[in-house]
Every structure is written in C-alpha cells, then in structure tokens.
Amino acid sequence: MSDLKLALELADLADQISISRFGSTDLIVTEKPDLTPVSDADRKIEEVIREHLRLHNSSDGVIGEEFEKKSSTNNREWILDPIDGTKNYIRGVPVWATLIALRIKNEITCTVVSAPAINRRWYATKGEGAFVCENILGKQTTRRLQVSGVNKISDASFAFAEVVKKDHWEANYESFLKLSNEVWRSRGFGDFWAHMLVAEGAVDFTIEPKLALWDMAALYLIVKEAGGSFTNLAGVDGVTGAGAISSNGKLHDQLVKRFN
C-alpha cells in the first residue's frame, strides 16, 4: 500500500468519527492542562488512527496532539492533529479538519488535510504536486493546486487567525497591525483553512505566531507542492519554531523582513 493511500484511509476513518459527533448534544468537552479544549471526538479519532497504524504499519512512530508519542523503529513518523479547529468544532462552526502527515528521516513526504463539513480534502506527496478534492452537489472533482502570482503587499489578500489577542503576537503585534492595514484585503479565516487557501491561490499569505508541530506538518507539504513557501517567522523553511508564515513565495522575503 502506498503512503498516500494509507494516509487517505486514515482520513476516511477520521471523517466518519468527526462527522458523526459534530453537533451532537452529548459531545463531551474537557480542558487540557494548557487550558485548550478537547472533545471526545478528538480523542476517538486519534485512538482509531493509532490502532489502524498499529495493525498495518506497526513499526511506524506516531506523534499526536492528544496522546503520548509512540517511537519509530524505522525512521517513519505519523504526525496527527485529530481535529484542528476544536473550538469551531464544539461550537458548531464547520471549519475544522483532521491533519495527517508522514515524516521519513525527518522529511515530510506525504500529507492529507480533510475537512468533511465543508466537503474538501487536500493532499500532497513530495515531488508529485498538491491537490484538492471537492464534493459539490454530489459531484466530486479533483484539481491540482497552484499558489497565486501576486507580488506586492498592497495587492495581497491576507488571512489571519486572531487579531485581538496581543499576547499571541508579543513583540510582533505592531508589525501585524501595520501589515493588516497595508494589504488589499484581510480576513480572519484562521487555522488550517488559511494555509489551504494559500495553496489554492485564493489567499496570498497567512501568518500564525503560535503553532505546534501537529498544527503545521500536514499544511507544510501542501503549500510547498502548490509552489508556495512555508517557514517559521525567522524565515527558516520547515515546521520548526513557534509559528509559521505561509505564502505564495513571491511575497515571502518581504513578510519575513517585517517580523525580524
């Protein structure tokens, strides 16, 4: 079985659980030590994915948001966020997704982002491009992704997660406010969706100051394979660092300079 086929199987399993629990009146929500919410759906999805991997690729490691790391014995690690956008999920907002990434020898090689409530699934394999599968009125279509060609900040569309929480931006808060007033358009899409819109060419860049590995890993390869750039705020390619800048590439150097 190819890595992409397995990743898509994992996404199918996740979608079945997340959709079945979305909007449930008996959804159980608790608070983690970092004061962020977690639902029973988050935990169930990660449990089911881990069990599927145990049965089919038992040597693979797993790094997930909800449970302890399972070490790899073959230099392969699956990086999981069972529900990215849990706050949306528990409030009935349909913008949330399961994020799945495979890292081999410290290189992300295959990723899937599945958002069943908005009928979209994005995926990428290293060197083979990035794609989005959409289901509209019962008709499923798949198209290859390509970032935009916008090369001026003043012409750009900027997606952001949060604008009012100054502590999220710390020393970069004023730079963020200045940037949001210089672009052609800014909208608070947030979470995974902002990065996927960059990959689709619908948005030109997004910046998030605080992210974990499982927030970024699946997004990274899709943006890169669509022709874009994905770095930390210091401009280092990859999923290291506390936050991320995702862009069409043409604007990237300008953005990095503003936050350094």
Residues 18 and 116 in one domain: yes
Higher pLDDT, 67 or 199: 199
Chain segment 5-60, per-residue pLDDT in tens: 999 999 999 999 999 888 777 788 777 666 577 888 889 999 999 999 999 889 99
Beta bridge partners of 132: 122, 143
Residues 124 and 240 in one domain: no
* Mean pLDDT, residues 84-95 taken together: 90
Does the pLDDT at position 169 exceed 90?
Answer: no
Residues 91 and 17 in one domain: yes
| pLDDT for res 53 | 94
Residues 121 and 29 in one domain: yes
CATH code at 233?
Answer: 3.40.190.80
Residues spanned by the domain of 40: 3-144
For the chain, the domain total comes to 2
Residues 169 and 198 in one domain: yes
Residue 159 has φ and ψ, to the nearest 5°, of -105, 135
Residues 25 and 97 in one domain: yes
Listed in sequence order, the residues at least 6 apart from 146 whose beta carbon sits closer than 8 Å to its beta carbon are 201, 226, 227
Residues 85 and 158 in one domain: no
Chain segment 203-232, per-residue pLDDT in tens: 999 998 888 999 999 999 999 999 999 999
Residues 13 and 129 in one domain: yes
Residues 136 and 170 in one domain: no
Residues 122 and 39 in one domain: yes
Does the pLDDT at position 193 exceed 60?
Answer: yes
- C-alpha dihedral over 166, 167, 168, 171, to 10 degrees? 80
pTM of the predicted model, to two decimals?
0.93
**Could you say which of 144, 165, 194 is where a domain stops?**
144
| pLDDT for res 34 | 64
